[in-house]
Amino acid sequence: MQTTEVAEKKQSQVRAIFNVTSGNFLEQYDFFLFGLYAKFIGETFFQSDSAYAALIKTFLIFAVSFLMRPIGALVLGPYVDRIGRRKGLMVTLSIMALGSVIIAFTPGYQTLGIAAAVLIFVGRLAQGFSAGVELGGVSVYLSEIAKDNNRGFITSWQSASQQVAVVFAALLGYGMSIVFTKAQVHDWAWRIPFIVGCMIIPMIFMMRRSLKETEDFASRQHHPTTKEILSNLASNWRIVISGMLLVATTTTMFYFITVYTPTFGKEVLHLTTKESLIATIMVGVSNFIFLPIGGHLSDKFGRRTLLLATSFLILVTAYPLLNWLTHSISLGHLMISLLWLSLLYSFYNGAMVVTLTEIMPRDVRTSGFSVAYSLATSVFGGLTPVIATFIVQQTGSKTSPAFWLMFAAVLSLITVLTLFKQMKLRRVTA
């Protein structure tokens, strides 16, 4: 009987993980598609004299949506901390779905003129607003249904679910590159993956509705008001800023190896669309495999050890790796480079996400996590495609994006060293 109960609890936990991360799938699916089809979206919704100008405008729209994330975190984060994880995640999914529909069905510049660009802008803002707390809400939910000895492993499935979206979107893109001509994809076929995303939204709603509230939240005697949450958040601003810097490497690495890579492969390394998508699919699969391993290693060897080791390896290997790749361009070399970056990203993120849930005060766990993560994504991750494109254009060096990765790694190294020292002192004086 006891064995049966254990099996049922495990099955229930697996089902909860699957249901709660379904929204993460939609968020990352749409975000990745926007980067994958950035060139076509730019030429559809913006009037520009050059392909470079259209691409920059598209990536700026991509980046601007990240500015809404901190706002979404400040507005929706306290709501989730006050009303509950389950209800909050239903709200974020609704807003996210609205943005997806706008992007999928808005007519182009030739039909609506400047209004087309405005609508796409609004759709991206809606997605950014909901994403501000979606990731934090899911991460906190997973950390609260986990146990002390497997919290890193369980929480890592938040990020792992995003990789399924990357692979699915890239496979769709690869299939479209075979079925349709480049002209057809440019004119209208790029919308198909976005429409597919809209079609799966009802299923995700059904999965989210079946979620149960976490015991940690349900058992609390007092649920703070929004005013109390914001006040608590303000008094813990140092932890929030430390959390933001901790996330710097994760968000920069992720958007470099997923969103920027297809454009980097095509526009900078002059690989074919199919070759770039094959590499992206491989990265998604690699991340999906390595992320839970990273979470497990953080449970076994400690968060600090894994965070320091991976940050250091990113710092010392990013430039030599990209230098080797750009001076010896091939699909095989691109895959080797991305596999290495994928491994480092996954192991770092596997330890980082659970650390971020653990350092935040209980009453503002979702708000603090979401604000920290959103700020990092706005400052670092969301700007990565723009900065990488700009650096290459200005310097003429295809290796130059490595300096952006190295900068993020330095920030994370310093933060890990100081943050865990502060946590140790806090435990001693408590």
What is residue 154's predicted lDDT score, i.e. its pLDDT? 94
What is residue 406's predicted lDDT score, i.e. its pLDDT? 95
**Is 47 among the domain residues?**
yes
Give the span between the Cα atoms of 277 and 178, in whole angstroms.
12
What is residue 55's predicted lDDT score, i.e. its pLDDT? 67
Type of residue found at 179: V
What is residue 425's predicted lDDT score, i.e. its pLDDT? 45
The range of the structural domain enclosing residue 151 comes to: 13-215+223-429
Say if CB 200 and CB 12 are below 8 A apart: no
CATH number at residue 202: 1.20.1250.20
Residue 123: which of 62, 185, 54 has the closest Cα? 62
Can you give the pLDDT of all 430 residues of the chain as single tens digits? 456 666 667 777 788 888 888 877 887 788 778 767 777 887 788 776 666 676 677 777 766 777 888 898 888 888 888 887 778 888 888 888 888 888 889 998 888 888 988 898 888 888 888 888 888 888 988 998 888 889 999 999 998 988 888 788 888 888 888 888 888 888 888 899 889 988 988 888 888 887 887 888 877 777 788 888 889 888 988 999 999 999 999 999 988 887 777 667 776 677 777 777 788 788 889 999 999 999 999 999 999 999 999 999 999 999 999 999 888 878 788 888 889 999 999 999 999 999 999 999 888 888 999 999 999 988 888 788 888 888 888 888 888 889 999 999 999 999 999 988 766 544 433 3
**Is 4 among the domain residues?**
no
Residue 106: which of 119, 97, 96 has the closest Cα? 119
**Is 117 among the domain residues?**
yes
What is residue 6's predicted lDDT score, i.e. its pLDDT? 61
Q: Which two tokens stand for residue 362?
A: 């209980």
Q: Concatenated DSSP letters for 213-227?
A: PPHHHHT-S----HH
pTM of the model: 0.82
**Is 373 among the domain residues?**
yes
Domain count within the chain: 1
Residue 66: which of 123, 138, 131, 120 has the closest Cα? 131
**Is 5 among the domain residues?**
no
Residue 128: which of 76, 55, 64 has the closest Cα? 64
Measured CA distances, 128 to 58, 78, 140, 172, 178 (Å)? 15, 17, 19, 23, 32
**Is 111 among the domain residues?**
yes
**Is 51 among the domain residues?**
yes
Say if CB 383 and CB 254 are below 8 A apart: no
Q: Concatenated DSSP letters for 86-130?
A: HHHHHHHHHHHHHHHHHHHH---HHHHTHHHHHHHHHHHHHHHHH
- Burial (CB < 10 A; 0-12, 13-18, 19+), residue 340, is middle
Say if CB 356 and CB 139 are below 8 A apart: yes
Give the span between the Cα atoms of 97 and 370, in whole angstroms.
19
CA 125 to mean position of chain CA atoms: 16
What is residue 429's predicted lDDT score, i.e. its pLDDT? 36
**Is 87 among the domain residues?**
yes
Give the span between the Cα atoms of 392 and 389, in whole angstroms.
5
Say if CB 39 and CB 54 are below 8 A apart: yes
